[in-house]
Amino acid sequence: MALRGVCVVELAGLAPGPFCGMILADFGAQVVRVDRPRAIGDVSHLSRGKRSLVLDLKRPRGAAVLRRLCAQADVLLEPFRRGVMEQLQLGPDILHRENPKLIYARLSGFGQSGRFSRLAGHDINYLALSGVLSKIGRSGENPYAPLNLLADFGGGGLMCALGIMMALFERTRSGKGQVIDASMVEGTAYLSSFLWKTQELWTQPRGQNILDGGAPFYTTYKTADGGFMAVGAIEPQFYQLLLKGLGLKSDELPKQMSMTDWPEMKKKFADVFAKKTKAEWCQIFDGTDACVTPVLTFEEAVHHDHNKERGSFITDEEQGVSPCPAPLLSHTPAVPSSKRDPFMGEHSKEILKEFGFDQEEIDQLVSDKIIESNKPKANL
């Protein structure tokens, strides 16, 4: 796999950090998740392919253990607000003295500088501060966040993984590590570069533009059985195929780009879509370039013919159903682990042995409750 031989130490956190670590593990990295004592584990359920070490970083000896791990690791992934790692004597200046090649990835909501850098927040707050949230929502309604996908996972975990990849590549030339300041606000704003560069497409209020649900040819419609169809027929040739499938004639409708007529056209399209079931509309539009597709539930997505043909979802006894890693690499594809997620502290002793701790040291760390070593519970 592409990241075979790369050692990552991931400090446990909420969704963005675990997702970043899972990406690295899926593509071959050896990821050690450092959990806090008495924590409840990975509530994000994004621990595929990782091993767990429970370590008390608030105690000096626990911090010393982490420094020894980082002295041999390629990447440290930490999810804390500004200043937390420095208070633990685990800041980049200290760790880079012991390992100049270390990639020190700092994934946080507001970044490592600025007046908000020490404040708490969540996806919706980062999305709001990036400016993107102001663009999302129906006409006449409040802005709304599209789940917690954009800032947490797109602008956060995925952008941080990209930064780690670039830093690892640069290290092959310079031999040096570096600090990655991955701010979810900035990551989300960067994802929205298209919006910033195409202001002419966003002249109308939220929800009344071509790509935000305002256009009748770029929105969703309810079907007779309560399902939904997604329509994205922007180009004129695709729009004509949409009209053909709906049984409508262009010469009997306003011009496609007549924005003042869009509300009326949406009502007309909605009336037509409501007359047939989702399956019936699929029969009409499948195999065409009308850019009309069903809005699938999770269960439907797994069983859709196209996704099955590509193997887009993984199903196994331990991990259940989950999306396969993306993108697909032809020479070094990801091979996600089929093992169950680790129990907290399940691999503590094993990990320390691999990093050069002798048995006496390990036993003393366990005895002093610096680390925890927990065996998996037998199935009942």
Catalytic residues: 122, 152
- Nearest alpha carbon to residue 230 among 171, 183, 197, 273: 273
Using the 8-state DSSP alphabet, how is residue 151 labeled? I
> Would you tell me how many other CB atoms lie within 10 Å of the CB of residue 200?
6
Query: Which structure tokens are listed for 191?
Result: 């994802």
Give per-residue burial for 259-293: e unless 16+ CB within 10 Å, then b: eeebeebbebbeebbeebebeebbebbeeeebbbb
* Per-residue tokens: 40: 């409840």
**Whether 264 contacts 200, CB under 8 Å:** no
| Runs of H (alpha helix) within 27-118 | 60-70, 84-87, 92-98
Q: How far is CA 184 from CA 84, 149, 153, in A?
A: 17, 11, 9
Tokens of 116: 């908000």
Query: How far apart, in whole angstroms, are the C-alpha atoms of residue 107 and residue 86?
Result: 15
